[in-house]
Amino acid sequence: MLELGQNPEGAGGDLIKDAGEATFEQDVLDASKEVPVIVDFWAPWCGPCKTLGPMLEDAVKAAGGKVRMVKINVDENQAIAAQLRIQSIPTVYGFWQGQPVDGFQGALPASEIKTFVKKLADQAGDGGLSEAVEAAEAMLAEGAAADAAQTFAAILEEEPNNPAAYGGLVRAHIAAGDLAKAEAVLNGAPAEISHAPELEAAHAQLELTRQAENVAPLDELRAAVEANPDDLQARFDLAIALHSSGQTEEAVNELLEIFRRDREWNDEAAKKQLFTVFDALPPQDPIVLNGRRKLSSLIFS
């Protein structure tokens, strides 16, 4: 497992760099023992190279440090080209553990380049980041929000586009009561993962937490609903307070009761709130599955 906090580009240098005969062993063979390395063999006169190179670079950058890229001008490094039997360009090789493990010749569409880069990145696994995410989630579940936030942040240093770590970091700040920081983390998420389920869930959790700041105490709201079961605003606020206190299933039941009594109330607020609660939970959570089933029954009854 990589040490958390280590530069994801490692000690081997920049994520994308030019190399030659003098540095090939260090930049490619040695470096590929830490992280897969893509080698792009090109030449200034090669038209397809001018298209392929930038697309490769974009895919490597999007991989967030899981792979590196080395560019080799074959006109200036003919010995390497001969040794690796480069017969036409562009030619691309993927190295892992000092050996070529994949490659292709000619230009490819962007979708196939992304597939190639992902396949190569998967050779190295995730360096233990999945286990680190699980450990941080356990910390958060045990109430150690500060420790969880620190671990999630360290994971993001390794893999800046890790949606699970981003979502976890937002939820850790929410648990610590720092909603401004949670919102800042959400707003700073890379565009390519901004709609990932983990971030959508964190956004829903933040929305629910902000709502809870503006409702009356739980006992007061229970009393109000008991005194007047038709007070749908009090029941709606009760659902918010229940969710805030960790009684999610009870909150869902109150929202379902509002929908049963008046599905159009307050511009379908109960149904919208149910979807927000569902979004904040894992899709296969029993509360989500049962809640969606009950809501569907009410809709089609």
**String of b and e for 102-141 (b: at least 16 CB within 10 Å)?**
ebeeebbeeeebbebbeebbebbebbebeebbebbbebbe
Contact 149, 174 (CB under 8 A): no
Can you tell me the distance from the alpha carbon of 193 to that of 92, in angstroms, rounded to the nearest whole number?
A: 27
Secondary element (H or E) of residue 72: strand 68-73
Contact 199, 206 (CB under 8 A): no
Active site residue 46: yes
The residue assigned the tokens 């074959």 is: 74
Which one of 49, 69, 185, 255 is the catalytic residue? 49
Active site residue 72: no
Task: Compute the radius of gyration of the chain from its Cα atoms.
Answer: 26
Residue 81 has, within 13 A of its CA and on its CB side, a CA count of 18
Catalytic positions are 46, 49
